[in-house]
A = this chain, B = another copy of it.
Amino acid sequence: MEKQKQRGEFDLIKELFVPLSKNSQGAFGLEDDACVILPDPGFELVVTSDAIVSGVHFRSDDPPDTIGRKLLRVNLSDLSAMGATPLGYILAIVLSPEHRGDWLDSFASGLAQDQRTFALTLLGGDTVSTTGPSTFVVTAFGQARRGSVICRSGAKVGDKVYVSGALGEGALGLMVLRGELPNLSDCDTKSLVNSYRIPKPRLALGKRLTHLASSAIDISDGLLADLGHLAKCSGVGVDIQESLIPMSKEVQGLVSQIPSLAQLILSGGDDYELAFTAPPRNQEAIEAAARDVGVPVSCIGTIVKTAGVRCLSRDGVNISPDRTGFTHF
């Protein structure tokens, strides 16, 4: 620990981060003013950026390796929603003194683990200190065939609305960590917390959707909030059926015990599943693509002319809550 406290800026970079860049020629061993990225011929670069702040986006008692992994994964989730394949990332570290020792080693080991999982490499960055909470910013790079990226703005009236996977586990995992779901089995607890801490970016599905989906977004702020963003960008509205929203058996069980949790499935966020739209004629191709990549997709509604997002209960009542997702200020 003493040794680590004494590591300077350049030692930190050399010990923890240069090894993360070793698979990239263009990173120049993190020793240059900038890095070089060249997309494959016929491809364009897709770039996204996410910032996380200690105490806001992660908890001081989260294992640091999972914080690093989640930071990469939320960026990869953005790339997946555009249909891009990840290439690498730039990391800005704004470090509080409390995170300078073993904590940062563990954080970097999480990055290393997910670099292997997703065939990514660290390309560059900056390391500075702060008196405030530690903050990390990842700018992630992917590539997609020129003109093939899926935007939020392409949904058309009559398109079907789909989501991947199952919703609610991330938001319930956060409730568990806050002590708000005290009576769960150890197994349920572990599984929900894991979903919150280590989301699964839907990269293979996103890539397959490039020629099938008319629009896509990843669900980070909450299903209704993110469908709202998509609808607004496309100049359309969304009607979904509550009964069609996919949930794991575990989550279904919890919702039937505590009916107020149903709201959380709609607006909780932290799902990192894809919500997307497609013309009805693509339904079979979408189902085939989903089978190929091993990710279930569910059709939950339709794009309509009337602006806004309506979530209809079995008896046709709009149950969209007023507050539909997380905003920062």
Contacts and interface: CB of A to CB of B under 8 A. Distances in A.
Contact of A130 (B8, B44, B53, B216): B53
B46 A8 contact: no
Contacts of A44: 26, 36-38
Contacts of A38: 39, 44-45, 146
A53 B94 CA distance: 8
Contacts of A282: none
Interface size class of A (residues with CB under 8 A): 35 or more
Residue of A92, A217, A229 contacting most chain B CB atoms (<10 Å) = A92
Interface string A204-236: 000000000000111000000000010001000
A47 interface: yes
A153 B327 CA distance: 45
Contacts of A94: 51, 53, 94, 135, 137
Contacts of A142: 34
B56 A46 contact: no
A240 interface: no
A283 B289 CA distance: 60
A311 to B, nearest CB: 21
Given A49-B90, A327-B9, A82 B33 contact: yes
A123 interface: yes
Given A82-B34, A132-B130, A124 B47 contact: yes
Given A33-B82, A47-B37, A82-B33, A56 B328 contact: no
The number of times this chain is found in the oligomer is 2
Contacts of A123: 47
A233 to B, nearest CB: 5
Interface in A43-63: 44-53, 55-57
Contact of A46 (B36, B51, B217): B36
B149 A31 contact: no
Residue of A90, A135, A329 contacting most chain B CB atoms (<10 Å) = A329
Nearest to A84: B34
Contacts of A90: 47, 49, 139
Nearest to A46: B34
Contact of A328 (B53, B129, B149): B129
A49 B129 contact: no
B51 A35 contact: no
A12 B328 CA distance: 11
